[in-house]
Amino acid sequence: GAGVSQTPSNKVTEKGKYVELRCDPISGHTALYWYRQSLGQGPEFLIYFQGTGAADDSGLPNDRFFAVRPEGSVSTLKIQRTERGDSAVYLCASSLRGGLAGWDEQFFGPGTRLTVL
Amino acid sequence: SQQGEEDPQALSIQEGENATMNCSYKTSINNLQWYRQNSGRGLVHLILIRSNEREKHSGRLRVTLDTSKKSSSLLITASRAADTASYFCATAGTGGFKTIFGAGTRLFVKA
């Protein structure tokens, strides 16, 4: 079956602009995660959804970052007033049951490379 | 800050040799997972070990977990050039919902 998909694969924007990054999880997966990864580092947790609700958004760096998952499937990560420091690869992952199953295997998408000029 | 810390940061071995990577973490965990990342396939889950397990095998992979030392190791036996990648440990804590990744071990297997 289809894996996790993310669009766009690359996004170049100017400082101060607004961007939206989209994640399509594997069908039937209730848990969805967003991470960002800088060069040479491991993925950094941003937010975790169980169904439609954000169960843990403690990784969002500040209030310029927001994510939604209105129907419990597709999720959008929104970044307002982008800054150069936001440049990174944004990764999305989904898992079948997430915390409801004591944390299960996460399937990652290919990521969106965001560059803020 | 990252909870998992992998050691070594980089490892270069010959094909056929074994590779061992270690991971340490700081707080109580529900489970620990190992992932591999290379440019061709992105992040791929390798193995999950729960806090009540001590050892787990999957093909050429062997993972151990010592909760008293808050550490885990990943052993890849009979390495292949295709094993060249970055390897990350990730912990799912008992006190929240975060999955925390370490900075990774970069493995290079020479053919």
Confidence bin at B1 (pLDDT 50/70/90): very low
CB A77 within 8 A of CB A23: yes
Q: Which residues of A touch B (CB under 8 A)?
A: 33, 35, 40-45, 48, 50, 55-56, 58-59, 91, 93, 98-99, 102-111
Give tens-digit pLDDT for B31-87.
Answer: 899 999 987 678 999 999 999 999 999 999 999 999 999 999 999 999 999 999 999
pLDDT for B37: 95
Omega before B8 cis (within 30°)?
yes
Q: Regarding predicted confidence, which is higher, A20 or B29?
A: A20
| Per-position pLDDT tens, chain A of length 117 | 589 999 999 999 999 999 999 999 999 999 999 999 998 899 999 999 999 998 889 899 999 999 999 999 999 999 999 999 999 999 999 998 876 556 788 999 999 999 999
Of A41, A45, A106, the CB nearest to B98: A45
Helix (H, G, I), strand (E, B) or coil at A99: helix
Residue B14 binned pLDDT confidence (cut-offs 50, 70, 90):
very high
pLDDT > 70? residue B96 = no
Contact B42/A111, CB-based, under 8 Å?
Answer: yes
Q: Does B44 touch chain A (CB under 8 A)?
A: yes
Nearest to A93 by CA among B30, B53, B33, B6: B33
Note the Cα A117 to chain centre separation in Å: 21
What SS3 state is found at A74?
coil
Measured distance CA(B55)–CA(A64) in Å, rounded: 42
| pLDDT for position A85 | 96
What pLDDT was estimated at residue B95? 62
Q: What's chain B's length in residues?
A: 111
Average pLDDT of the residues in B3-22:
90
Q: Using only C-alpha atoms, what is the Rg of chain A? A: 13
